[in-house]
């Protein structure tokens, strides 16, 4: 938790303080031209598949990586204020020494991702200044084909219309749900405020002052 959650929050806080002050850097924009600006304002978070799915054997790790996802989704909605672009990587089990022998036994019969695919994804995020607020899952390389309903299915190699990929975007469409939720909440809050009127506003102001002064504690 200290590294994956607390350390992440400290690092992010420092990044959002210093990146806008980086001499020669410009605010992020999807209309930017990669390679033509000398300095970028970019923070790349390292999540995990445990950011998206439960990992029963390691609840602390799962909680910490869920925190990375929550931080990413919150900041990508507001980081334009500081001109900082934020993206996130969510690797699956990658074939590195961090995957221990017992873990490899549990994964036997499946597959692991490759380091080079993680590096490729990170390089794209870092190098392309037009990429803002995106997340990628990196897993085993598979051959898939998109059905008419938009879903993907595993197919044999060389199947017409198929593609080989190790990258998946898990948060591409969640804006629709978030925006709808936010709109509904705002409508409800506005309705409540309108119903209470100025009298309700004045009452809340008095209560806030009383609370601040500690008279009712």
- Out of 61, 114, 141, 145, the active site residue is 61
**Residue 96 tokens, joined:** 């590195």
Instruction: Count the Cβ atoms, other than its own, within 10 Å of residue 63.
Output: 14
Q: Which two tokens stand for residue 217?
A: 């504690």
Residue 36 bears catalytic tag: no
Query: Using an 8 Å Cβ cutoff, are 128 and 160 in contact?
Result: no
Query: How many other β-carbons are positioned within 10 Å of the β-carbon of residue 2?
Result: 8
| Residue 36, both tokens | 């033509």
| Contact in structure between 131 and 87 (CB atoms under 8 Å) | yes
- Reply yes or no on whether 61 is catalytic: yes
Query: Is the CB of residue 76 less than 8 Å from the CB of residue 43?
Result: no
Close Cβ partners of 150 (under 8 Å, ≥ 6 residues apart):
none
**What are the residues facing 87 on neighbouring strands?**
44
The residue with tokens 């897993």 is 139
Cβ neighbours for 113, distance < 8 A, ≥ 6 positions apart: 91, 92, 93, 94, 95, 138, 139, 140, 141, 166
Q: How far apart are CA 55 and CA 59, in angstroms?
A: 6
Q: Which residues are catalytic?
A: 61, 65
């Amino acid at each position: 938790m200290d590294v994956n959650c607390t350390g992440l929050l400290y690092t992010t806080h420092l990044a959002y303080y210093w990146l806008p002050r980086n001499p020669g850097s410009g605010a992020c924009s999807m209309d930017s031209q990669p390679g033509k600006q000398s300095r970028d304002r970019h923070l790349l978070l390292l999540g995990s598949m445990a950011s998206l799915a439960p990992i029963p054997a390691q609840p602390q790790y799962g909680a910490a990586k869920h925190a990375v996802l929550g931080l990413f989704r919150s900041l990508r909605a507001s980081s334009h204020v500081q001109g900082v672009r934020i993206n996130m990587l969510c690797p699956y089990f990658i074939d590195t020494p961090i995957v221990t022998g017992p873990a490899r036994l549990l994964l036997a019969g499946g597959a692991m991702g490759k380091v080079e695919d993680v590096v490729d994804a990170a390089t794209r995020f870092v190098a392309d200044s037009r990429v803002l607020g995106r997340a990628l899952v990196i897993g085993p390389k598979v051959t898939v084909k998109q059905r008419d309903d938009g879903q993907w299915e595993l197919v044999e190699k060389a199947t017409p219309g198929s593609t080989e990929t190790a990258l998946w975007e898990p948060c591409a469409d969640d804006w629709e749900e978030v925006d709808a939720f936010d709109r509904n909440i705002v409508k409800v809050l506005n309705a409540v405020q309108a119903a209470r009127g100025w009298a309700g506003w004045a009452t809340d102001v008095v209560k806030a002052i009383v609370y601040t002064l500690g008279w009712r504690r």
